Amino acid sequence: MTSSKQQEAEADSEHNPQVVVTPTGATHSIRHDRSLWRDLTAYWILGLCNNYGYVVMLSAAHDIIAQFNDEPEFNEDVDSGRECHLVSTGAILLADVLPSLFVKILMPFFPFWVNVRIAIAVACSAAGFLLVGFANAEWMALLGVIITSASSGIGETTFLAYSSRFNKNVISTWSSGTGGAGVIGSLSYATLRSLNVSPRDTMLIMLIFPAIEAFSFWLLLRRPQVLPVTAVESTEELIRDDKPLVGFKEKMSYIKHLFKYMLPLCLVYFFEYFINQGLFELVYFENIFLDKAAQYRWLNVDYQIGVFISRSSVNIFQLNKIWLMSVFQFINVAYFLTEVIWFYTPTIWLVFVIVLWEGLLGGGAYVNTFYRMSKEIPAGRQQFAMSMVVQSDSYGIALAGFLAIPVHNAICGLPAAVRSVVW
């Protein structure tokens, strides 16, 4: 389209609220959208349900390991006096993230059959809860975690790519919903276990979430409509940078343009999950109102509250410097690593404050990355870009899981520290 046509289209959009300019300069005539709430609400619920199973499996990591052991396992090489599971919760993290990562890598290159993808995601989510709930061996529980992870990966890549066909604010409601999954998932699990509901019954109760996900996608979310185009242009007239990506080679060559979004997000999540799955389990305060297992569960709840707050804040506060969040998250790693070795924090309430801050950083990095992409990347390329960048947090999480296991076991081999200052 020539610049004069572009200017005319923009002038029409300014004087006529029913005319919208596409990224290519074409004009669309639309009516006032009074049902936008359906899409925004649906994406919030889809974010909640898609991440709910993933969060529950991480919250239940300590219990999943413990239920197949009659008593805590100690490091056999060194009688350190520390109560540690030799299989750290990092093993559950790997089972919870590697299948998701594998799915996220493949999905951008598969046909975008959205209904088939979501049907598979919903079925896998339900199957994962059932397998973990009825597990009578550790391998069966881990298989349930793996299937739940695959469900989350299919859903996240599909829903984020599909968001390019809706109002850009579905990104903020999706992110808020995923943050809500953290709070609701970890809180519901911790609450049910505190009420002495068995792990099996807890998982069966949570089967309601795959059903809600199906309802939200097929009944609440509107189908994107192809709007009438009032100004037609040929493919040759498209601005080159705005052309949709076609073919494997073209998509692969475009990935380098996405590194500025992927690398900071990957680092934030690497540091974050190294803390959560390698060090959280080793944070322990004796003789307080929470036992060791309960401390782990409620630290997860606290972390997820931070994630929810920051993922829901993008329409109020935006931060483009995601790398800054990775620096702050590294400082958190240094604190927790020294804390679990020397036990110098005088009260668990200080740990709760730092964990909340950790969650704020992680959630803020996620939502600001995708919100920034929704504004900076041409609409024709957003579907592929979203489905690629969403992999970056999983790369960080997977690396964290691999590193968390040996670091966790090395700390277990150290002499038990004594907390000398207690408030």
Q: What pLDDT, on a 0 to 100 scale, did the predictor assign at position 89?
A: 59
Q: How many CA atoms lie within 13 A of 94 on its CB side?
A: 13
CA distances from 154 to 48, 110, 145, 161 (A): 14, 11, 14, 11
Beta carbons of 24 and 242 less than 8 angstroms apart = yes
pLDDT value of residue 21: 39
**At a CB cut-off of 8 Å and minimum separation 6, what does 415 contact?**
80, 81
Say what the pLDDT of residue 186 is.
80
Give me the residue label for tokens 């690629």: 388
**Which tops the pLDDT comparison, 67 or 258?**
258
Q: What is the pLDDT of residue 301?
A: 83
**Tokens read off for 158:** 């599909």
Higher local confidence (pLDDT), 318 or 2: 318
| DSSP code of residue 321 | -
The pair of three-digit structure tokens given for residue 188, joined into one six-digit string: 């519901």
pLDDT at 422 over 80: no
Q: Tell me the H-state helices in 275-316.
A: 292-311
- Predicted model pTM: 0.76
The answer to whether 60 and 93 are in contact (CB under 8 A) is: no
Q: Which residues, listed in sequence order, are joined to residue 29 by a DSSP beta bridge? A: 19
Centre a 10 Å sphere on the Cβ of residue 21 and count the other Cβ atoms it contains: 17
Mean pLDDT, the chain, rounded, equals 82
CA distances, 272 to each of 80, 307, 360 (Å): 27, 11, 11
| Calpha distance 149→145 (Å, rounded) | 6
Tokens representing 376 are 């900076």
Region label for 137, one of left (φ > 0), alpha (ψ between -120 and 50) or beta (otherwise): beta
Q: What is the pLDDT of residue 74?
A: 41
Q: What is the mean pLDDT of residues 124-136?
A: 91
287 Ramachandran zone, left/alpha/beta (phi>0; psi -120 to 50)? left
Q: What is the pLDDT of residue 233?
A: 41
Q: Is the pLDDT of residue 192 over 70?
A: yes
Structure token digits, residue 198 = 């068995």
HEC string of 5-56 equals HHHHHHHHHHHCCCEEECCCCCEEECCCCCCHHHHHHHHHHHHHHHHHHHHH
120 confidence band (pLDDT: 50, 70, 90) = very high
Whether 4 has a pLDDT exceeding 80, the answer reads no
What residues have CB less than 8 Å from 116, skipping those under 6 apart? none
| Paired strand residues for 28 | 20, 229
Does 73 score more than 60 pLDDT? Answer: no
* Residue 412 near residue 84 (C-beta atoms within 8 A): yes
pLDDT at position 423 is: 74
Say yes or no to pLDDT of 382 above 50: yes
pLDDT digits (tens, 9 = 90+) for 216-239: 999 999 998 654 444 444 444 445
Which range in 31-35, 42-46, 110-114 is most confidently predicted, on average pLDDT?
A: 42-46
Residue 80: DSSP 8-state: -
| Each residue's pLDDT tens digit, 275-299 | 987 888 888 888 888 888 788 888 8
Q: So what's the pLDDT on residue 30?
A: 44
Percent of the chain beyond pLDDT 70? 81
The two beta strands, 27-29 and 19-21, are: antiparallel
Q: What share of the chain is helix, strand, coil (3-state, %, to 5)?
A: 70, 0, 25
What are the residue ranges of helices labelled H in 110-258? Answer: 114-133, 138-162, 170-194, 199-205, 208-215, 248-254
Q: Which pLDDT value is given to residue 247? A: 76
For residue range 320-366, what is the model confidence (pLDDT) as tens digits?
A: 888 999 999 999 999 999 999 999 999 999 999 999 999 999 999 99
Tell me the sheet residues that pair with 20: 28
- Confidence at residue 330, expressed as pLDDT on a 0 to 100 scale: 97
Query: With 70 as the cut, is the pLDDT of residue 15 above it?
Result: no
Residue 80 has pLDDT above 70, yes or no: no
Task: Domains for the chain: give ranges and CATH numbers.
Answer: 35-65+84-224+245-413 (1.20.1250.20)
pLDDT of amino acid 82: 74
More confident residue, 250 or 359: 359
Could you give the 3-state DSSP secondary structure of residue 421? coil
Instruction: Return the minimum-mean-pLDDT range out of 32-46, 218-232, 282-296, 392-406.
Output: 218-232
